[in-house]
Amino acid sequence: MNPTYRKWLNIVFSNRLSASGFVIISIFLIIALLYLIFGNLILPYNPIQINLSQVNAPPSFRHLFGTDQEGRDIFSRVIAALPVDLGISMLVVVASAALGLILGVLAGYYRGIFEEIIMRVTDLFFALPPLIMAMAIAITLGSSLINASIAIIIVWWPPYVRLVRGSTLEVTANEYITMSKVLNTPFIKIFTKGIFPNIVTSLLVYATMDIGTAILTLSTLGFLGIGIPVGTPELGVMSSILSTNFYTYPLEGLIPAFFIFLIVMGFSLTGEGVAEIIDPNIRGHLISRKRRLEEMKKIKAGSRPSDIGPQ
């Protein structure tokens, strides 16, 4: 395996929080991939077929999560929704990161009037509340999955520009970048060899946590009935039944809502653990489980524990 990947896996698995988050995400991603490859073959029922003789059925062995108000099997719909939710939110994050990388590096590297224009526009977009603006854009564009993605991307990119510009400024202050400039190294080489390897870590951590936030925003749009066509197997749209009849059949909406929670939780836990490990203020004081057990043994044995933490 590539050593960089191994380093990343080590970071993720060195901490229980991020390890459990990573496992959750991987399971959902694998199921989503399987559905993309095999389609309805792996599902017990067709997720979009309406069956009015099986309306509002409670969970049972035939319908694991029950059926919705149009008789569609909720278990099948949840699985069919995974590629939609994960796909759109990953698309949003990747597009925003790409935009942020381009604008942020240009602003941080070339400075001057260029930076001024990019950063003022970014500040302006940064001030907009994402959900509210995405609502306005999605309604204006009309309902379709592509329009929903565009609406979220338009409000999603500003933090990436700020992040990338900040790290670019830090990196380009180093002598080796100045040296390369003096030696007339082409920009593309300075970028790939000097700048990119140094900013990719913070970008990756932020993007990982951000996929969860994007899913929350997307599903809220679905819940409000904006941007995502009615009947699409999407977790937010499926939960929207909650806005009308949650007293009679609460499970029909709560199950998809709970899956949104699980997915976002996976991303959130992964980021939470990783962010701690790369934070220089905290990193040195983390105590591994193994070490704590050793310390406990020492205390029990009557000897003085060693001072924990860097000196």
Residues forming contacts to other proteins in the complex (CB under 8 A) are 16-17, 123-125, 127-133, 135-137, 139-142, 212, 216, 219-220, 223-226, 236, 239, 242-243, 246-247, 250, 253-254, 257-258, 260-261, 264-265, 267-269, 272, 279, 281-282, 285-287, 309
Q: What tokens does 193 get?
A: 């060899």
CB of 268 to other proteins, least distance (A): 5
Cβ closest to other proteins, residue 64 vs residue 254: 254
Q: For other proteins, which is the closer residue by CB, 34 or 133?
A: 133
In angstroms, give the least distance from the CB of 62 to other proteins: 26
CB of 261 to other proteins, least distance (A): 5
Q: Tell me how long the chain is.
A: 311
Output the smallest distance, CB 151 to other proteins, in A: 9
- Spell out a b/e string for 127-166, using b for 16 or more CB atoms within 10 Å of the CB, else e: eeebeebbbebbbebeeebebbbbbbbbbbbbbbbbbbbe
Q: Where are the beta strands (DSSP E) in 252-293?
A: none
C-beta of 100 vs 266, nearer to other proteins: 266
- Minimum distance, C-beta of residue 102 to other proteins, in the bound complex (Å): 21
Q: Which residues contact 133 (CB under 8 A, 6 or more apart)?
A: 154, 155
Q: Whose CA is closest to 207, among 304, 99, 282?
A: 99
In 39-173, which ranges are continuous DSSP H helix?
Answer: 74-110, 112-126, 130-141, 145-156, 158-172
Residue nearer to other proteins on the CB measure, 171 or 264: 264
Nearer to other proteins, 82 or 190 (CB): 82
3-class secondary structure, 73: strand
